Structure 1
Amino acid sequence: MKRLPLLPTVIVGAAIATMIGLGIWQLQRADWKEGLIARYEAASGLPPVAWPSVPPADDDLLYRRAEGFCTEVTGWRAVAGHNANAQTGWSHIAACRTGAEGPGMQVDMGWSRDAAAPDWTGGRVSGVIAPDSVHRIRLVSIEAAPGLVPSAAPDPGEMPNNHLSYAIQWFLFAGIAGVIYGLALRHRQKGLTAPPVPPATGR
């Protein structure tokens, strides 16, 4: 049996090992994400908390029920959102002062098809803490501001968990790479073992 070419075999073997390692890592990430979603789902049954004066460094408060008081609305922003009936439109988020030091409170005060800011100047708010791409967390109010309907309640079950499919892809890539390299080696071995073609002789 012919010896395997050293350098190509090392390169392909390292690539396959890396892809398998990435697949295993994605499986671990899938288990982690499932545990995280389960923890967030359990958080909805915990007692309400007061809105923190400073956003926490971790995500322990996500999907907890919370209460806060908006002493003054300093601005509005409208982001793409949907209501409880899965209708698409705009969720209206108020930037609030809370009477304490810190960044204040971001409150989703409801949904509408119109991006114009609602007529709401503040007050006590109860809702669920949700992720916010700008301010880390925001409070999704249970009761909507006048002229709005409540935005859809934050649902940890909507968090994407595609790690299992990513793991399968990496394992498939590793298998395909192994098959392709095996076929290339087979073709090479046939080329090395083929009998030489006799030279043509003249008359």
Structure 2
Amino acid sequence: MSRALFVILIGLGGAAILIGLGIWQVQRLAWKEGVLADINARIEAPAQALPDRPDPETDAYLPVEVTGTLEGATLRVLVSQKDEGAGYRLISAMDTGARRILVDRGFIPTAADMPGLPQGAVTVTGNLQWPQETDSFTPEPDRAANIWFARDVQTMAETLDTEPVLVVARAVSWNAAPVTPLPVDTARIPNDHLQYAITWFSLAAIWLAMSFYFLRRRAKIES
């Protein structure tokens, strides 16, 4: 086999592999956009009553409306907002009369004073969520300072004596200021497949260009 033929085969074979990877990422992009569209449709659906036995798999993002009394301690989860900087999500217990659940009331800046709980029965419209925010690198909560580093639904439920069910507020029936609700959305779900596809297609173009360069260089040397 001549060296020129070898370079051609390597060039075309490598480019085919890279283009194939790019096409695969385009297919993954279409799949991910379908998943996000489905999640957004679930988030924006009309609110319904809280299920008797919410399931983290089938009921994730389910829109619900709950009424009850917010009571007890409020847990602070350290977060950062793009336009606000550092702050806390406020997690409180709600007693609906028949059950106790967790409510994510929203965000306050770190410099803000801890707001009191509204008095009497209130209504929260939001979405069920079991966020996966903990891993082996997540620090344990600083219970003395009341600073948590992730929304660990199970541990928070044990701390506030509630069911492991979290409703993330979208709208509330009282003046929530200075708390700003942080509704559930898909902004934090990664979708980098377009960038990956562009990378693979770019590498394929570079691979072909380099193969062509070597062929031309060899032809000049042999001429």
TM interval, shorter chain, is 0.5 to 0.7
SS of the residue corresponding to residue 31 of structure 1 reads helix
Match of 1:112 among 108, 112, 125: 108
Aligned Cα root-mean-square deviation (Å): 4.0
Equivalent residue, structure 1, for 2:76: 77
Cα distance 1:70–1:55, how it changes in 2: closer, same or farther (>3 A)?
Answer: farther
**Contact 2:25–2:196 (CA<8 Å) still a contact in 1?**
yes
Letter in 1 for 2:208: G
Identity %: 25
String of CA shifts for 1:64-89, please: whole Å, max 9, x gaps: 32245677656512333559xx6555
Match of 2:171 among 142, 152, 160: 142
Q: Determine the C-alpha separation between the residues in 2 that align with 1:25 and 1:70.
A: 50
Name the stretch that deviates more: 28-37 or 160-169: 160-169
Residues paired across the two proteins, number: 185
Amino acid at match of 1:94: I
Unpaired segments ≥5 residues, structure 1: 195-203
Listed as ranges, the matches of 1:130-169 within 5 Å are 132=131, 133=133, 134-135=151-152, 139-143=168-172, 148-156=178-186, 159=189, 161-169=191-199
Equivalent in the alignment of 1:94: 91
Question: Which structure is richer in relative contact order (CA contacts within 8 A, separation 6 or more)?
Answer: 2
TM-score by length of 2: 0.60
Secondary structure of the residue that 1:142 maps to in structure 2?
strand
Q: In structure 2, how many angstroms separate the alpha carbons of the residues matched to 1:51 and 1:90?
A: 31
Cα deviations by residue, 1:54-107 (Å, 9 ceiling, x for unpaired): 65136x522x32245677656512333559xx6555242316487879xx63x3
Gaps in structure 2 of 5+ consecutive residues: 134-150, 154-165
Query: Using a 3 Å threshold, how does the CA distance of structure 1 residues 189 and 48 change in structure 2: closer, same or farther?
Result: same
- 1:149 is paired with a residue whose SS is coil
CA contact (8 A) 1:20 1:171 kept: yes
* Equivalent position SS for 1:50: coil
Give the letter for the 1:173 counterpart: L
Contact kept in structure 2, 1:23 and 1:168, CA below 8 Å:
yes
**How has the CA–CA distance of structure 1 residues 140 and 9 changed in structure 2, closer, same or farther, with 3 Å as cutoff?**
farther
Indicate conservation of the 8 Å contact 2:92/2:104, yes or no: no
What residue number does 2:23 align with?
A: 24
TM-score (ref. length: structure 1): 0.64
